[in-house]
């Protein structure tokens, strides 16, 4: 009898422990794979802060973790992933890891070795998503190179064929650049990761990608609703107290932040949230119990100022810049 009670306690204790956060739906990719409809971003998170933040994100229900070689935190991401798997919060199949190839390794023969280095840092046999970080190649000392991103894409195709990544995609590519991949490549990108928020909804590029079955992931989804520390005197776009956003939020019993994140999901993009604050994390993930109307989305679209948070201005003279071009 005691043995039975102990086993019962362990069973229900395990179920209780593993019931983490809201159930987040998925979007199907054009290659037959899938991604959760919200990601946790790790840009500027390093060391123990990165590990703890990622573990909390997974505990809260997030299953897609976005990193990059450029972020210099793949080791920390790997430690967090190992922890949540070891604690049986998730299995490897239930967590999705996305990383990116940096600009200094755009030659075809460099792509696979660089992904293998990322996998070594992550402590994984494969990643779920591998992206070209930008179309703009540069040398080790930062000199701009004219390496054609089509050559880079062929290296990405090599990586997928080797089973080192389940899906491949791009980031910060415009429609003209993607179109060249569609014409000359053998695999259609599964994802384009771009900036998307009320002051830069990137509507034409989002529509272009979606019409071709390419899922859009949006970084900086809150735009200038959160402090950016740039010393600007003027306010770009709406504030957290904007009457339109407040009205929409009150209609659903949500916060403005939740409405803006939901805005990205209801236009069929995957927002990449990023916070080390547990309270903000809880706020971010609790957006799957309501939907915005088309009218709500149109009203938020009116905040479009073509104002990006990340302009990548230091690459403005690069042959393949084009970041403002849909």
pLDDT in tens, 243-253: 999 999 999 99
What CATH class does 26-223+237-315 carry? Answer: alpha beta
Q: In the structure, what pLDDT confidence band is assigned to residue 289 with cuts at 50, 70 and 90? A: very high
Q: What is the pLDDT of residue 236?
A: 82
Residue 71 is a catalytic residue: yes
Max CA distance (Å), the chain: 75
pLDDT in tens, 5-31: 333 233 333 333 333 467 899 999 999
Predicted TM-score (pTM) of the model is: 0.92
pLDDT in tens, 188-242: 999 999 999 999 999 999 999 999 999 999 999 999 998 876 545 456 889 999 9
- In whole angstroms, give the CA distance from residue 301 to residue 244: 11
φ/ψ (deg, to 5) at 261: -70, -40
Can you tell me the mean pLDDT for 50-76? Answer: 98
Q: In the structure, what pLDDT confidence band is assigned to residue 176 with cuts at 50, 70 and 90? A: very high
Place of tokens 């989002």: 206
- In whole angstroms, give the CA distance from residue 316 to residue 314: 6
Domain ranges (residues) in the chain: 26-223+237-315
- In whole angstroms, give the CA distance from residue 69 to residue 241: 37
Are 199 and 236 contacting, i.e. CB atoms less than 8 angstroms apart?
yes
Closest to 215 in 3D by CA, of 103, 288, 297, 128: 128
Q: In the structure, what pLDDT confidence band is assigned to residue 3 with cuts at 50, 70 and 90? A: very low
Q: What is the pLDDT of residue 8?
A: 29
Helices 74-86 and 108-122 meet at what angle, rounded to 10?
A: 50
Percent of all residues in the chain with a pLDDT value above 70, rounded to a whole number: 91
Closest to 188 in 3D by CA, of 214, 165, 162, 221: 214
Are 213 and 31 contacting, i.e. CB atoms less than 8 angstroms apart?
no
H-run or E-run covering 301: helix 294-301
User: Do you know the residue count of the chain?
Assistant: 326
Q: What is the pLDDT of residue 298?
A: 98
The residues with which 195 forms a beta bridge, in sequence order, are 219
Tally DSSP H helices, then E strands, for the chain: 11, 10
Q: What is the pLDDT of residue 17?
A: 33
Provide the 10 A C-beta neighbour count for residue 72. Answer: 12
Q: Within a 13 Å sphere around the CA of 105, how many CA atoms are in the beta-carbon half?
A: 20
φ/ψ (deg, to 5) at 60: -80, -10
Beta strands in the chain, from DSSP E residues, in sequence order: 26-28, 34-36, 39-41, 64-66, 96-101, 127-132, 165-171, 191-195, 215-219, 269-273
Q: Which of 43, 70, 71, 252 is catalytic?
A: 71
Q: Across all residues in the chain, what is the average pLDDT?
A: 92
Q: What is the pLDDT of residue 324?
A: 77
pLDDT in tens, 31-42: 999 999 999 999
Beta strands in 22-152, from DSSP E residues, in sequence order: 26-28, 34-36, 39-41, 64-66, 96-101, 127-132
Q: Please report the DSSP string for 83-109 in residue order.
A: HHHHTTSS-GGG-EEEEEE-GGG-SHH
In degrees, rounded to 5, the angle at the alpha carbon of residue 258 between the alpha carbons of residues 212 and 302 is 60
Q: What is the pLDDT of residue 6?
A: 32
């Amino acid at each position: 009898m005691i043995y039975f009670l102990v086993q019962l306690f362990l069973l229900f204790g395990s179920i209780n422990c593993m019931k983490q956060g809201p159930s987040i739906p998925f979007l199907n990719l054009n290659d037959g794979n899938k991604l959760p409809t919200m990601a946790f971003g790790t840009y500027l998170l390093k060391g123990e802060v990165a590990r703890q933040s990622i573990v909390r994100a997974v505990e809260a229900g997030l299953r897609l973790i976005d990193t990059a070689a450029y972020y210099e935190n793949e080791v920390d991401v790997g430690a967090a992933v190992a922890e949540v798997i070891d604690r049986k919060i998730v299995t490897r199949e239930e967590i999705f890891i996305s990383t990116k190839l940096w600009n200094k390794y755009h030659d075809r023969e460099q792509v696979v070795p660089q992904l293998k280095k990322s996998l070594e840092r992550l402590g994984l046999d494969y990643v779920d998503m591998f992206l070209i970080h930008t179309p703009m190649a540069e040398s080790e000392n930062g000199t701009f190179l004219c390496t054609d991103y089509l050559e880079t894409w062929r290296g990405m195709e090599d990586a997928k064929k080797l089973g080192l990544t389940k899906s491949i995609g791009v980031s910060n590519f415009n429609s003209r650049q993607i179109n060249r991949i569609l014409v000359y490549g053998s695999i259609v990108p599964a994802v384009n990761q771009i900036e998307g928020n009320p002051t830069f909804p990137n509507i034409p590029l989002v529509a272009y990608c979606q019409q071709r079955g390419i899922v859009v992931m949006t970084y900086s989804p809150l735009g200038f609703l959160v402090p950016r520390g740039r010393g600007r005197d003027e306010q770009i776009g709406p504030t957290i107290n904007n009457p339109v956003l407040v009205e929409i939020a009150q209609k659903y019993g949500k916060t403005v932040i939740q409405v803006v994140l939901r805005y990205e999901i209801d236009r069929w993009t995957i927002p990449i949230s990023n916070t080390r604050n547990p309270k903000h994390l809880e706020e971010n993930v609790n957006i799957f119990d309501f939907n915005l109307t088309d009218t709500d989305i149109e009203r938020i679209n009116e905040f479009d100022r073509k104002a990006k948070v990340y302009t990548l201005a230091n690459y403005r003279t690069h042959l393949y810049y084009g970041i403002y071009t849909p």
